[in-house]
Amino acid sequence: MKTTTAMPRPLEITPEHREQYRRDGYFILERVIPDEHLDLLRRELDGAIADVHRKMDEQKTDVLGINHRNKRYFVTLFRETGKLREFLFSDYIEQIVRATIGENAWLFCEQYVVKAAEIGMQFAWHQDSGYVRIPHKPYVSCWCALDDMTEANGTIYVLPYPRAGTTTKIEHVKDEKTNDLVGYHGDDPGEPVIVPAGSIAVFSSTCFHRSGVNTSPNQRRVYLAQYSPEAILRDGKPTILAEPFLKDGKRV
């Protein structure tokens, strides 16, 4: 798989980043994930996919939940193993979280998203908040590239707030063919996130984004970590995760 080998850059959240997040709903940080964390993320994913294949073999199937052998994989690990804590609660992730949602933060969701070579599906325009059915404050998504991202391998496209015409969550409509929830129906193609491995696209849960088809000969691997400014609960229980990170500006 094609990946860059350049050393990561020291993370610096600038006033320009903060302003772009406020104005457009996102900003991009190139090559900021340290090599040891990039290796960790890839290694844990390889093990998780091998485990998915083992379970498929046991059940004599190529489909397990929403995972399809050699087509697409959606894998969550933190709840099961906690091994990714070193990355999820690192100092540089803390900087991103403070700069976007403030002094209180919970880990809300984490997930690997893998698009298989040549057949990885596209994903329709949506806000992440569009998939959360209960009232909540906007949260932040850290979309972490484990491979070099191109339009050919199905990177994401983000739609700046001014071009989307909204900074808040809107109602989404289900696409009956794909089961995607769709919130933007205009013809703006958005801005492609073309970045090397180890980069992080940081965007608000109210920022519209989509992804293209993977037409490349390699997998497209991403790790998504999302943090909320308050625990997102239903009937007093976490809707996904509610792992404390920051409270009044201090590590929990």
In which band, very low, low, confident or very high, does the pLDDT at 1 lie, cut at 50, 70 and 90? very low
Q: Supply the pLDDT for residue 116.
A: 85
In which band, very low, low, confident or very high, does the pLDDT at 179 lie, cut at 50, 70 and 90? confident
The average pLDDT across 159-177 equals 93
Of the candidates 19, 38, 239, 36, the one whose C-alpha atom is nearest the C-alpha of residue 128 is 239
Using one digit for the tens of pLDDT, what is the confidence trace for 36-87? 999 999 999 999 899 889 999 999 999 887 677 887 788 888 887 788 999 9
Using one digit for the tens of pLDDT, what is the confidence trace for 116-139? 887 767 789 999 999 999 999 999
Considering the domain boundaries, does residue 6 fall inside one? no
Considering the domain boundaries, does residue 70 fall inside one? yes
Considering the domain boundaries, does residue 78 fall inside one? yes
**Who has greater pLDDT, 73 or 187?**
187
Q: Answer for the pair 140, 229: CB distance below 8 angstroms, yes or no.
A: no
Which residue range is the domain that position 216 belongs to?
15-251
Checking if the pLDDT of 158 tops 80, the result is: yes
Residue 27's beta-bridge partner residues?
A: 202
The average pLDDT across 149-178 equals 94
Checking if the pLDDT of 233 tops 60, the result is: yes
203, with CB counted inside 10 A (0-12, 13-18, 19+), is buried
Mean of all residue pLDDT scores within the chain: 92
Considering the domain boundaries, does residue 179 fall inside one? yes
* Alpha-carbon gap, residue 226 to 233, rounded angstroms: 15
Q: Supply the pLDDT for residue 141.
A: 98
* Alpha-carbon gap, residue 121 to 223, rounded angstroms: 17
Q: Supply the pLDDT for residue 119.
A: 75
Considering the domain boundaries, does residue 107 fall inside one? yes
Checking if the pLDDT of 4 tops 70, the result is: no
Considering the domain boundaries, does residue 4 fall inside one? no
CATH, residue 76 = 2.60.120.620
Checking if the pLDDT of 3 tops 60, the result is: no
Using one digit for the tens of pLDDT, what is the confidence trace for 80-106? 778 899 999 999 999 999 999 999 999
Considering the domain boundaries, does residue 165 fall inside one? yes
Domain count, the chain: 1
Considering the domain boundaries, does residue 246 fall inside one? yes
Q: Supply the pLDDT for residue 31.
A: 96
Checking if the pLDDT of 198 tops 50, the result is: yes
Lowest mean pLDDT among 2-11, 145-154, 188-197, 224-233: 2-11
In which band, very low, low, confident or very high, does the pLDDT at 108 lie, cut at 50, 70 and 90? very high
**Who has greater pLDDT, 187 or 123?**
187
